[in-house]
């Protein structure tokens, strides 16, 4: 059985999924999001893949670019996490 990854790893994955969903909802490329949020394109890619942990500064830049509050972007992240955990329970798979 696979070892459950640490919660912090899950958090970065779920946050990355939230960022990707918001970006795709706007029909933006990673390049365009990077430009709108004043962040590096490769950093956006790392965030979306859950390979980087965002700071509150980054969260603020992304939320501002998407035109939402920071808490809204995090609420969406939490919904993804809950949905993922529910699926995990059903599938008895790993958490993220």
Q: Can you give the binding site for a second copy, defined by CB under 8 A?
A: 7-8, 11-12, 15, 53-57, 59-60, 69-72, 74-75, 77-78
Please work out, in degrees rounded to the nearest 5, the angle formed at the alpha carbon of residue 23 by the alpha carbons of 72 and 5.
70
Token pair, residue 80, equals 């993804």
CB of 27 to a second copy, least distance (A): 25
CB of 55 to a second copy, least distance (A): 5
Q: Mention every residue, 6+ apart, whose C-beta is less than 8 A from residue 51.
A: 12, 16
CB of 76 to a second copy, least distance (A): 9
CB of 64 to a second copy, least distance (A): 9
Half-sphere exposure of residue 58: CA atoms within 13 angstroms, side-chain side: 18
Question: Which is closer to a second copy, CB of 29 or CB of 86?
Answer: 86
Question: Which is closer to a second copy, CB of 57 or CB of 91?
Answer: 57
Tokens 């990355």 correspond to 16
């Amino acid at each position: 059985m696979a070892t459950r990854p640490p919660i912090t790893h899950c958090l970065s994955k779920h946050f990355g999924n939230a960022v990707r969903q918001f970006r795709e909802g706007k029909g933006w490329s990673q390049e365009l999001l990077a430009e709108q949020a004043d962040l590096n394109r490769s950093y956006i890619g790392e965030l979306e893949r859950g390979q980087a942990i965002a700071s509150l500064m980054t969260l603020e830049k992304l939320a501002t670019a998407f035109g939402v509050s920071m808490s809204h972007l995090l609420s969406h992240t939490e919904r993804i996490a809950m949905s993922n955990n529910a699926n995990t329970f059903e599938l008895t798979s790993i958490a993220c």
